[in-house]
Structure 1
Amino acid sequence: MGQVTGESAFDRLATEARDPAAADLDLRSTPELVRLMNDQDAGVAAAVARAAEPIARAIDAIVGRLERGGRLVYAGAGTSGRLALVDAAECESTFDIPPGRVVAAIAGGPAAAASAQEAAEDDREAGAAALSDLRVGPGDAVVALSASGRTPFTLGALGHARDVGALTVAVVSVEGSELGALGEHEIAVLVGPEVIAGSTRLKAGTAQKLVLNMISTIAMVRLGKTFGNLMVDVVATNEKLRARVRRIVAAATGAPSERVEAALDDADGDAKVAIVSLAADVDAATARARLDAVGGNVRKALAG
């Protein structure tokens, strides 16, 4: 093959590179392809582990904003944006976060959640406008995700966040990116070329999902949204979750099922109130007052 001319900076990105190990992809059997993809995916967790320190520093900074009443705002396009939307939505049910406390701005708006709006990612001004519409300010933390580190929508979003004094975090899959330079905290998870060249919904997307899991989950742990490894702030909106709440209260207190049921009834279904009530042997009103005094932290309420 002749040499490719007119190569751009984008063409030289690691996220666009071709993996020689997968050059004959279409000639392999299905079992071989399954093993190949699984082998490649196995390296993603190791790449995230290498970024553990910057991830931890970013989380501690995010928690600082959240403790003072700020928001966690994600920004991304394509796969990055859709992953961010999922993480933001699940924080509400898992940790009883009020609507609007963890939000995501995605290129193309809500329609991009169901179908790709890839052209929207090239609009840098739209990224800035999306965060302006959310009234992002110095009390907020903004996490921008882009595998290439150069998506215009995401650059516009993080640039606006920096301009207004918000905490800025960049999650990328390359070194030396423009997005990384914009972020006060850069999380570079270097997963290497994709099995299909340029398809960053694969390893890069998996890495982003792992990082998002860490950011939201660990931030909520730091905020007292768990007791041990029990998600005591879960919102019981269906029978499966109501059964989970009963198991959580029983596991946290060791109380028999009849006492758990009675405590939850008195607590209007609030797992935290029921746990403190049972563990401290106080009524629901006292348990609730204790929790209110320590920002809803079960461990602190029991220590007080």
Structure 2
Amino acid sequence: MNWHVAGEQLGQLTTETVSEDFSQIDRLPTDELVALVNAQDATVAGAVATQLEPIARAVDLVVEALRAGGRLVYAGAGTAGRLGVLDASECPPTFNTDPSLVIGLIAGGPVALTTAVEGAEDDPAGSHAQLDELGIGEHDVVVGISASGRTPYAVGAVTEARRRGARTVGLSCNAGSALGAAADVAIEVVVGPEVVAGSTRLKSGTAQKLVCNMITTCSMVRLGKTYANLMVDVRASNEKLRDRAHRIVTAATGADADQVSRALETHGGRAKPAILALLTGWSPQQVDEALATADGSLRGALDEPSGTIPPPHDQGSGPRS
């Protein structure tokens, strides 16, 4: 077994540094230990703030890709891979996206979500079959995630995706990373040594989660998946989300509870067309045509010149707002 990675000084990476600042944590009482971890967590948002420019560039790449019929694909190992899968899995219920639109790949396959797959992260070609199965190409964006920025699986995924013509992003927690160098856009959130040395599920994981949140949320906002800050594309698949859909339509229209319930019932529980119908008085067909003309954007449907949108009914039409 190889106990040393020749030619690489992993111990010099910020994410692997053993900090004397935390050398007495096993002696601390619980309240002080919790306060220490919390204080370190509080530094993560500031570290992310240093990377807003490349994060914005990544968002623009994703918006361009999704508008062109492409996909966003995360690829990572261990905690990084699980965070990518988590972010991808939250897009369908939040933004009513098809599950094939945002995809998370993890080294070792789905079993690695709950069980460590030994050595999977060390294979630079480990993602190639996964990328091939997806048919990754020029309309897609692949985001490699690795706290160290040198995980062979993640670097290999970005390298192969770029070879296939896809746009690529490298998300890591070390500056000057191999992952960043392999990608079109490098996002390198340097959070410093972990409270438990090398445990990148801590600050590094939090940073990666924040960045993934920003990439998908900002992309979906740009694509018209919200109206103002309302989650109008929410998929009302359970009681909580049905109640949320009702509250969203109420907030957007000011209609009373019975009007909102009837509109949601008419439009199959979908908040976006229910809102448009209540604001305009249009028929279900007119609402669907208007949203299609505006590429699904409620804001766009309301702002389109009147000549390109079917006129509201003479009877019962409501004001635009």
Judge same fold: TM > 0.5, yes or no: yes
Separation (CA, whole Å) in 1 of partners of 2:289 and 2:93: 23
8 A contact 1:79–1:201 mirrored in 2: yes
Contact kept? 1:248, 1:271, Cα under 8 Å: yes
Q: Confirm whether residue 25 of structure 1 aligns to residue 25 of structure 2.
A: yes
Report the equivalent of 1:167: 167
> Tell me, what secondary structure is at the counterpart of 1:126?
coil
- Any conservation in 2 of the 1:144–1:170 contact (CA below 8 Å)? yes
1:141 counterpart residue number: 141
Deviations 1:118-139 (A, max 9, x none): 4211111112222122211111
Letter in 2 for 1:261: S
> Could you tell me which residue of structure 1 aligns to residue 40 of structure 2?
40
Partners in 2 of 1:134 and 1:105 — Cα distance?
Answer: 10
* Distance in 1 between residues matched to 2:62 and 2:38, nearest whole Å: 33
Determine if contact 1:189/1:207 at 8 Å carries over to the other structure.
yes
Q: Please list the CA deviations of residues 31-66 of structure 1 after superposition, one character each: whole Å capped at 9, or x if unmatched.
A: 111011011000000000111111111111111111
**C-alpha distance after superposition, 1:80-115 (max 9, x if no partner):** 000111110110111111121100110010001112
| SS of aligned partner of 1:214 | helix
- The aligned counterpart of 1:88 is 88
Give the aligned length: 299
Matches within 5 A, 1:33-182: 33-182=33-182
Rounded Cα–Cα distance in structure 2 between residues aligned with 1:265 and 1:177: 52
Whether contact under 8 Å (1:77, 1:118) holds in the other structure is no
Contact 1:128 1:153 in 2 (8 A): no
Runs of 4+ deviating beyond 6 Å: none
* Structure 1 or 2: more helix by fraction: 1
The separation in 2 between residues aligned to 1:246 and 1:28, in whole angstroms, is 48
Task: Give the whole-Å Cα distance in 2 for the aligned partners of 1:29 and 1:127.
Answer: 44
Output the CA distance in 2 between the equivalents of 1:157 and 1:7.
22
Q: Is the 8 A contact 1:78 1:118 kept in 2?
A: no
Provide Cα deviations, 1:163-207, integer angstroms capped at 9, x if missing partner. 011010000111111111011000010101001111111000000
Report the Cα distance in structure 1 between the residues aligned to 2:243 and 2:103, rounded to whole angstroms: 28
Whether 1:252 aligns to 2:252 is yes
1:69 and 1:293 map into 2 onto residues whose CA distance is: 17
Q: What is the rounded CA distance, in whole Å, between the counterparts of 1:163 and 1:243 in structure 2? A: 46
Match of 1:221 in 2: 221
Identity across matched positions, percent:
52
Question: SS at the partner of 2:104?
Answer: strand
Secondary structure of the residue aligned to 1:171 is strand
Q: What are the Cα deviations for residues 217-255 of structure 1, in whole angstroms up to 9, with x where unaligned? A: 000000000001111111111111111111111100000
Distance in 1 (alpha carbons) for counterparts of 2:202 and 2:261 = 45
1:204 counterpart residue number: 204
Computed over aligned residues only, the root mean square deviation of the Cα atoms, in angstroms, reads 1.2
Q: Is the 8 A contact 1:127 1:152 kept in 2?
A: no
Taking structure 1 as the reference length, what is the TM-score of the superposition?
0.96
Counterpart of 1:126, as a letter, is: G
For the residue of structure 2 that corresponds to 1:179, the secondary structure is helix
User: 1:201, 1:267 → 2: CA distance?
Assistant: 42
Worse-superposed segment, 121-130 or 63-72:
121-130
AA of the residue aligned to 2:77: A
1:116 Cα deviation after fit: 2.1
- Map of 1:277 onto structure 2: 277
